[in-house]
Structure 1
Amino acid sequence: MSDWPALPIFVRLSGRAVVLVGEGEAADAKRRLLERAGAVIVGEDRADEARLAVVADNEPAAHRLKQRGLLVNVVDRPALCDFTLPAIVDRAPVLVAVGTGGVSAGLAAAVRQRLEAILPAGLGRLAEALHAARDALRARYPDTPDRRRAIGAALASGGALDPLRDHDSGDVVARITAGASARVEHVRLRSRDPDDLTLREARWLAQADRVTHRDDVPTAVLDRARADAVREGTDAVPVDSADGLTVDVAWQEGAA
């Protein structure tokens, strides 16, 4: 696995000071972005109140702010950046951030535009409905693994609450309960390369609660499963699943 150029995080800026240095179109764009996040924008003279700074076209100011202990973003100068600002898809409270570590803002923007077309306008409403249903879901599924499986099944592709489809304001708990089921899916490998998995096979592994596999199945393939999925090396092919989704991984006949 390649190293990430940076760790993606979301920072709460509401009511917090952020230094903004510079003028012109680039600075104005960053000002709008910071204001939308609720930041209190201050100048370099108030740097002691801030922990973050955004600098447009003023490298000396960037160095001064770094010396004062602030994390600094320098517009169009990735080598000088302590952090970068991603392209954002806003479906509040759902935010999707696309970054390239400062390598190509144009590519990040292009990916954002594609995602804008894919993610429904009502995705935020679905998030709020799930949040409002937490107590009811805990009551319906007091066991955490059972609750996680039921929600995961509803949110899966084609599920009752598939996040890539628009939904009305119906009963979220009822839809999750109706969609909860235990099942077994079978992945039959054609090569040792996990990138050769079909989209459906990769999705099954990502959603699996339990993974059964033969001893000769590559670790790289098994690592496509959730980290908290139960793994079981066995020669027996499961025919049913007592809990959630079981994915059985073996070689396609003649492919090993």
Structure 2
Amino acid sequence: MRSLPLFHRISGQPVIVLGEGEAAVPKARLVERAGGRVISDLQRGIDEGARLAFVAHEDEARCEADALRLRGAGLLVNVVDKPDWCDFTTPSLLERDPVLIAVGTSGASAGLAKHLRLRLEALLPPSLGKLAQGLAEARGALRKVFPESAERRRALDAALGEGGVLDPLDSGSAERLGEWLAAGGEAAAPAVHEFTVVSDDPDDLTLRQARLLGMADAVIADPKVSEEVLVRARADAVRFALPYDGEMPAGLVVIVRRA
């Protein structure tokens, strides 16, 4: 079962959490950590305009009844330990405030999500949140240095990439942000990269191919290339089909052929 990952802003908003004990308490804590207001009464929560609800009763029939009532009122519902009854699932969270990384398996295995998150914990430096906050505060300066959005994106791609001056996995990157901006930054030059994929399975992409797709401003693809492969490109990347005889788009262009 596929899921659409979203970050839902609930600060100051009511969220219904029904139930008690080991199943309900962690959900209430999760809501509170995100700034939400926990409402333990179903009707009160509906009346106050809650949009999300967690149901964690020990009695299965009561869980099903409350879930149906909440859905009928237009809420999105999570029934603890019942993924088939859920409109949404809660991922395992890695926090480097304001960076929030969610690892989910669409309800398949909470244990797997947890251990993936623990591996990522060891990779990401504590300074990652400071880098994110610095980039947020530098938006105005970035627009002055790079007025064009495509140029700004290429500059950030070059700086944030592996080994770049702002490499997120380098604990000193946050300290270098100001110096990088003061020096005028450095945008990656427009470039065209071409490669051939060997199958319709995106897992067969090389690391380089996956990285180029993820950074591309425009993708020119053989019609035989599968959508599963092309979805690895940014959602806002411009797409064209081969054969292509128009003017080459600006920025980073990736031409993908199928073997």
TM-score bucket (shorter structure)? 0.7 to 0.9
Alignment partners' CA distance in 1, 2:20 and 2:118? 27
Give the C-alpha shift of residue 212 in structure 1. Answer: 5.8
Corresponding residue number in structure 2 for 1:218? 225
Corresponding residue number in structure 1 for 2:160? 155
Corresponding residue number in structure 1 for 2:44? 46
Corresponding residue number in structure 1 for 2:213? 205
Work out whether 1:182 is the aligned partner of 2:173.
no
Contact map agreement 2:165 2:176 (CA 8 A) in 1: no
Q: How many residues of Structure 1 are paired with residues of Structure 2 in the alignment?
A: 244
Contact map agreement 1:55 1:75 (CA 8 A) in 2: yes
TM-score by length of 2: 0.79
Corresponding residue number in structure 2 for 1:14? 11
Corresponding residue number in structure 1 for 2:22? 25
Contact map agreement 2:128 2:174 (CA 8 A) in 1: no
Corresponding residue number in structure 1 for 2:68? 66
Corresponding residue number in structure 2 for 1:170? 176
Change beyond 3 A, Cα 1:233–1:33: same
Contact map agreement 2:145 2:185 (CA 8 A) in 1: no
Question: Residues 98-143 of structure 1: CA distance to partner in whole angstroms, max 9, x if unpaired?
Answer: 1222221111111111121122211111111111111111111111
Alignment partners' CA distance in 1, 2:8 and 2:223? 43
Change beyond 3 A, Cα 1:85–1:195: closer
Match of 1:196 among 189, 194, 204: 204
Give the C-alpha shift of residue 89 in structure 1. Answer: 0.7
Partner AA of 1:169 in structure 2:
E
Change beyond 3 A, Cα 1:195–1:79: closer
Deviates more, 1:62-71 or 1:157-166: 62-71
Contact map agreement 1:160 1:179 (CA 8 A) in 2: no
Contact map agreement 1:14 1:37 (CA 8 A) in 2: yes
Match of 1:91 among 93, 96, 99: 96
- The aligned runs of 1:116-135 (5 Å cut-off) are 116-135=121-140
Alignment partners' CA distance in 2, 1:90 and 1:204? 27
Partner AA of 2:53 in structure 1:
A
Identity of aligned residues (%): 48
* RMSD (Å), alpha carbons: 3.1
Contact map agreement 1:119 1:164 (CA 8 A) in 2: yes
Contact map agreement 2:89 2:106 (CA 8 A) in 1: yes
Contact map agreement 1:130 1:172 (CA 8 A) in 2: no
Alignment partners' CA distance in 2, 1:139 and 1:218? 39
Deviates more, 1:81-90 or 1:196-205: 196-205
Give the C-alpha shift of residue 94 in structure 1. Answer: 1.0
Question: Residues 152-185 of structure 1: CA distance to partner in whole angstroms, max 9, x if unpaired?
Answer: 2212222221222222423347259443221546
TM-score by length of 1: 0.80
Deviates more, 1:147-156 or 1:164-173: 164-173
